[in-house]
Chain A
Amino acid sequence: MKKYFIRGLWHDHPALRQLLGMCSILAVTTYVINAVFMGLGVIFVLVGSAFFVSLIRKIVPDEIRIVVFTVIIATFVTIVDLILKAFFPGISDALGPYVPLIIVNCIILGRCEAFACKNPIRASLLDALGMGLGYTWLLIVLAAVRELLGYGTLFKKPIMPSTYNPLSIMVASAGAFITLGFFIAIMNKLGKKVT
């Protein structure tokens, strides 16, 4: 059972290994605080949809499974979106369209299709939680690097000395590609030793 949880964190990391959910990773990692909330949102949607998909896996006919997954995922995402808008308006503004776009985040549909619809509830929940946490730690680490270099801050608090001239490119799209590229390269290097 434990292996279902662990693998999403490292060996089978959804972003660094499976290269899923790239666009949200590139887009929301400008501030650590955004990354934290985006990660929490994705974990909630992943776990919620994995639970329901696993629960109804035996009654859903194969032909309509993707439609059913999408309906379930969309429901959870809309709930997250409404809750953020109502109780965390600042975060909701910062994440903008990327919250509703969790619906098409391929990590979630990918885990429903590859795992939750074929496995019992407990295994699916552990798998979803592991994948969600794996995605979240990467978001936070990437955001920390980019925020520190691009704005000179962490959690919007100034960290770098006042003489530091922020590298705007790090918080623009190009910086996202560069940072993520470095992480995937490191993962490939380390991964060779593991396998």
Chain B
Amino acid sequence: MKKIFKTTIVLTTISVICGFLLAFVSALTEKPIAANQHKKIGEAISKLSPAVKKIEEAPLKDEQIYKLFDQKQSLIGYAVVAEGPGYQGQIKIVAVTDSAFATLEGIQVIESSETPGLGAKITEDFFTKQFKGTKLASPLECTKEKTDKGDKILAISGATISSRAAVNIVNNELQKIKQEITEIK
């Protein structure tokens, strides 16, 4: 019986001390972490759409989007942060659309841990620029052969899974938001 008390007390005390320590560090780092996340999204947006001067958060029912304004304070587009599983770990993509939410202005991969030399190429311009100008009316398709018909994204050879993952992540998020966005228009 005595042993049970001792183990309980020791473990509880240590856990409480560790808990306080973590709470302290967490409070200290919370703001810089949020600021870094914001900065990364902001940088991606301004690279995709250099005219953007102001970014405003606009919460939808389930999702979070960003309204983009130019110098004259007029709405020029929306930015969306899409996340999903890749070949290895999560992929996080910033996608920018026009103000009607009908055409993609482009995408930028801000977080990924795909295979170096193969899947990691999804972050490179030659792949991401294919998304520029595609229509959002229907989901994008990922193909292995070059075609001129419709909005098709050509997969990177040797990295079909990563390419497909990137296309699916963009599709899922944009189609979801397309349905919700009518509410705030």
**Which residues of chain A have a CB within 8 Å of any CB of chain B?**
30, 56, 59-61, 63-64, 67-68, 71-72, 74-75, 78-79, 82-83, 85-87, 89, 93, 96-97, 150, 168, 171-172
Contact = CB atoms under 8 A, between A and B. Distances in A.
Given A85-B33, A168-B117, A171-B116, A67 B11 contact: yes
Contacts of A79: 21-22, 25
Interface of B: 3, 6-7, 10-11, 14-15, 18, 21-22, 25-26, 28-29, 32-33, 36, 40, 89, 111, 113, 115-117
A72 B113 CA distance: 29
Contact of B14 (A30, A56, A63, A96): A56
A82 B15 contact: no
B7 A63 contact: yes
Given A64-B11, A83-B29, A86-B32, 16 more contacts: A61-B6, A61-B7, A63-B7, A68-B10, A71-B11, A71-B15, A72-B14, A75-B22, A79-B22, A83-B25, A85-B29, A85-B36, A86-B28, A87-B32, A171-B117, A172-B115
Contact of A64 (B10, B21, B22, B33): B10
A72 B7 CA distance: 16
Contacts, number: 65
A96 B89 contact: yes
Residue from the set A63, A68, A74 with the largest chain B CB neighbour count within 10 Å? A68
A30 B111 CA distance: 17
Contacts of A74: 18
B14 A61 contact: no
A74 B22 CA distance: 10
Contacts of A61: 3, 6-7, 10
A67 B116 CA distance: 37
Nearest to A68: B14
7 contacts: A30-B116, A82-B33, A83-B25, A83-B29, A86-B33, A89-B36, A97-B113
Nearest to B39: A89
A97 B113 CA distance: 10
